[in-house]
Amino acid sequence: MNKQIYPLLIAQFLSAFADNAILFTVIAIVMQSGTQPSWYIPALQSMFLIAYVVLGPWVGGFADHHAKSHVLIIANIIKAVGAGLLLLGVEPLIAYCIVGVGAAIYSPAKYGILPELAGHEALLKANSWIEGSTILAILLGMKIGAMIADYSTQIALFMTIGLFVVSALATLSLPVKVTKKTSTENALVEFGKQMALFFTTPRSRFSVLGGSLFWAAAASLRVILIVWAPLVLLSKNASEIADLTLYLTVGIIVGSIVVPYLIPMEHLRRARIPAYLMALFIIGLSFTTSVMPAQAVLFAIGMMGGLFVVPINAVLQEQGQQTIGSGSAVALQNFFQNLAMLLAVGTYTIAASQHIDPVIAMLALGVLVFIATFLVSLCLPDNNQPQ
């Protein structure tokens, strides 16, 4: 494993920590105001996702045509600006959208630089490390961010700004390497050609559609939990909701750690099994009425999610490096998965405005994930089929 993976791990950990701290800070701001309608928090998530969808045709090429280490610095600065706007009292929907712009730029560079630091043999392990450290950052960011935000949202925002800045500084030791020459072609035209090229193989199609399924399910579950937990488990503030979601994130960490031993890249078909199980556990969660069983089921959902998404990310990066560029492949994946997340969260936002029961919403989510897993698995190649 290239030793330069360690600065990336540090930078990614700090940035992901701040991403989730700021999310629960915004949730705390909304909950403390007590005046926002039920659709407001899902709408916040939607504003964050819009940046990924709108910027999709540009951010992948930007990551591939510039040094990815420099792109990571720019993205962290934009995230810090969004946090600063929240600190200044700007409308959260606008400020959080700015944070989303930084995240949309950050993601292709973060995943796109991995094949430059790790060869084929180490790529799955590098992804496992990145996913594990990211989920650990999410876990701590949610917990610590929510605790600080419940005490003082201003202190929480100052903390996130500082973390974004330190993350940017950590990337200074990464290699300065440009993988593709700057293209003179229109970005939308180039993005369309990349999409057509990347969808030519079953493995590529499954990596894009599978990633979209996972993140749409994760985003929907997160916004449903924010309403479901106070109603069913009587959670009272952002900290208690964060405590509940810790079990989900710990499960993803465990899944990310064990996945190289269970689902190597050469056996991608196995990834559909944890996806089916994840759907069944979401259905099971909708019937849960007390805290401890909910914690256990959330852990199981997270573990299945980690087993599902890590091989998908590794395959996508390798396929991308061999075809359209790793940064462009990640941006293409981000476009589809955030479009799926936007549609999923947007649908729930509309349902929440009509006062849908969150228990019914969670049950419906599990059923839809099961059906979607079956449809996405049709893209998988047979074991003896060229991949």
Return contacts of 227-232, CB within 8 angstroms, 24+ apart. Answer: 227/38, 227/352, 227/358, 228/358, 228/359, 228/361, 228/362, 231/358, 231/359, 232/288, 232/289, 232/294, 232/358, 232/359
Q: Is residue 181 part of a domain?
A: no
- Report the distance separating Cα 310 and Cα 304, nearest Å: 11
Q: Is residue 258 part of a domain?
A: yes
Instruction: Say if 179 falls within a structural domain.
Output: no
Tally the domains of the chain. 1
Q: Which amino acid is at 345?
A: V
Q: What is the pLDDT along the chain (387 residues), one digit of tens a residue?
A: 567 778 888 888 999 999 989 988 888 888 787 666 667 777 787 888 788 788 877 787 777 778 888 899 999 999 999 999 999 988 888 999 999 999 989 888 887 777 777 665 666 677 777 777 887 887 788 889 888 988 899 999 999 999 999 999 988 877 666 655 555 566 677 777 777 777 777 777 777 888 888 888 988 888 888 888 888 887 766 677 777 778 887 888 888 788 877 877 667 778 888 989 999 999 999 898 888 898 899 999 999 988 888 887 777 766 666 666 656 676 777 778 778 888 888 888 888 778 888 889 889 999 999 998 898 888 666 554 434
pTM: 0.68
Q: Please indicate, yes or no, if residue 194 is contained in any of the structural domains.
A: yes
Question: What pLDDT does 317 receive?
Answer: 67
State residue 107's pLDDT score.
81
pLDDT at residue number 356? 86
CA dihedral (194, 197, 201, 203) in degrees, to 10, reads -10
Q: Which residues contact 214 (CB under 8 A, 6 or more apart)?
A: 275, 305, 308, 309, 312, 337
Q: Is residue 387 part of a domain?
A: no
User: How much is the pLDDT for 175?
Assistant: 67
Report how far apart, in Å, the C-alpha atoms of 59 and of each of 2, 105, 183, 250 are. Answer: 26, 6, 13, 30
Q: Is residue 382 part of a domain?
A: no
- CATH number of the domain residue 131 falls in: 1.20.1250.20
The answer to whether residue 177 is domain-embedded is no
Asked whether residue 325 is assigned to any structural domain, the reply reads yes
What is the predicted pLDDT for the residue at 17?
93
Range of the domain at 370: 5-172+186-377
Q: What is the pLDDT of residue 226?
A: 81
The pLDDT of residue 386: 39
CA dihedral 93, 210, 320, 12 (to 10 degrees): 50
Distance CA 25, CA 146 (A): 6
